[in-house]
C-alpha cells in the first residue's frame, strides 16, 4: 500500500511528537529548560505540518509557556468537587489553569 504525501507527513510528524514528548519527560527533572525546548520543537512541527498534536499529549502541554505539565513537578492536578466534576491542572511555571470535564460513564 502506498501512502499519499500528506499521510506520510502525518506519520512522520506523529512519530516526532512521540519522540520529542518522550525526551521532554526524560529531561523534566534534570533539565527543565531543555524539556521545554523539546515541547517548543514539537509545537513548531505541528504549526509547520498542520498535523494536530494528539489529545493525550496536548493534555500535558501548557498553552501559555509550553512547559511539559508533569504532575508533581511542573503541574498540580486537582479534582474539583463542585458543579460537574472537573480536573484542574495548574501549570506551576506560569500559573495557567486548565480545566477538563470528566465525562461520566453511563
Binding site for Zn ion (CB under 5 A): 62, 64-65, 67, 91, 93-94, 96
Q: Considering the complex, what minimum distance in angstroms separates the CB of residue 10 from Zn ion?
A: 27
Distances (CA, A) of 102 to 24, 40, 47, 63, 84: 26, 28, 29, 20, 8
Nearer to Zn ion, 20 or 74 (CB): 74
Q: Considering the complex, what minimum distance in angstroms separates the CB of residue 75 from Zn ion?
A: 8
Altogether, the residues listed in the chain come to a count of 106
Nearer to Zn ion, 17 or 67 (CB): 67
Amino acid at each position: 500500500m502506498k501512502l499519499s504525501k500528506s499521510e506520510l507527513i502525518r506519520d512522520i510528524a506523529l512519530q516526532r511528537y512521540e519522540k520529542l514528548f518522550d525526551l521532554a519527560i526524560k529531561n523534566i527533572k534534570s533539565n527543565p529548560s531543555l524539556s521545554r525546548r523539546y515541547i517548543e520543537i514539537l509545537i513548531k512541527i505541528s504549526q509547520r505540518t498542520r498535523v494536530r498534536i494528539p489529545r493525550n499529549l496536548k493534555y500535558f502541554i501548557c498553552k501559555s509557556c509550553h512547559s511539559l505539565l508533569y504532575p508533581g513537578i511542573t503541574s498540580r492536578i486537582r479534582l474539583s468537587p463542585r458543579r460537574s466534576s472537573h480536573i484542574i491542572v495548574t501549570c506551576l511555571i506560569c500559573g495557567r489553569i486548565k480545566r477538563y470535564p470528566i465525562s461520566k460513564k453511563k
